[in-house]
């Protein structure tokens, strides 16, 4: 059911420093930062030949990243995003298999303007999974 790896998201305590590391030290192509208030994050997109890295920094007091950075003050991998062809069919199949879909179970529009859902990390090897409709 899952297709390509769309991106790996890394939570960072200092977005400018993380951008510089990827651009200058690793030599990657890095975007300007983009505020996404509806998701409580500011994002920098790193474009790699076969996938993307998203550098995520909390935006606003209720950002879901604050707890994560509290536990991982140096930053760390926050989630992986897999593409699916049909997000509602994927959700229904996952629910049928007992996997927990976060929130109200309805897809939201994600960082790339496409519908996304998140799956509970305890159901998938301790890793938060995002599904994005390709």
59 versus 81: smaller Cβ distance to Co ion = 81
Contact window for Co ion (CB under 5 A) among 1-9, 22-30, 82-90, 96-104: 1-9
Expressed in angstroms, the distance from the first to the final Cα of the chain is 12
Looking at the Cβ atoms of 81 and 84, the one nearer to Co ion is 81
9 lines the binding site for Co ion (CB under 5 A): yes
Interaction residues for Co ion, span 90-119 (CB under 5 A) = none
> In angstroms, what is the minimal distance from the CB of 9 to Co ion?
4
Residue 54 CB, shortest distance to Co ion, in Å, is: 6
Q: How would DSSP label each residue in 53-78? A: EEEEEE-STT-THHHHHHH-TT-EEE
With beta carbons less than 8 A apart as the criterion, state whether 55 and 69 touch: no
**Contacts with Co ion in 62-91 (CB under 5 A)?**
81
Distance of CA 70 to the CA centre of its chain: 18
CA distance 93 to 96: 5
| Binding residues vs Co ion (CB under 5 A) | 9, 81, 130
């Amino acid at each position: 059911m899952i297709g390509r790896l769309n991106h790996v998201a890394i939570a960072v305590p200092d977005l400018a420093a993380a951008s510089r590391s990827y651009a200058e030290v690793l030599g990657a192509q890095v975007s300007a930062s983009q505020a996404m208030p509806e998701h409580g994050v500011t994002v920098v997109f790193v474009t790699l030949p076969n996938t993307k890295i998203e550098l995520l920094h909390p935006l606003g007091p209720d950002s879901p990243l604050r707890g994560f950075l509290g536990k991982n003050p140096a930053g760390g991998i926050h989630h992986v995003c897999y593409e699916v062809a049909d997000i509602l069919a994927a959700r229904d199949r996952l629910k049928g298999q007992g996997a927990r879909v976060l929130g109200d179970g309805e897809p939201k529009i994600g960082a790339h303007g496409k519908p996304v859902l998140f799956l509970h990390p305890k159901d998938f090897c301790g890793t938060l999974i995002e599904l994005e409709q390709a």
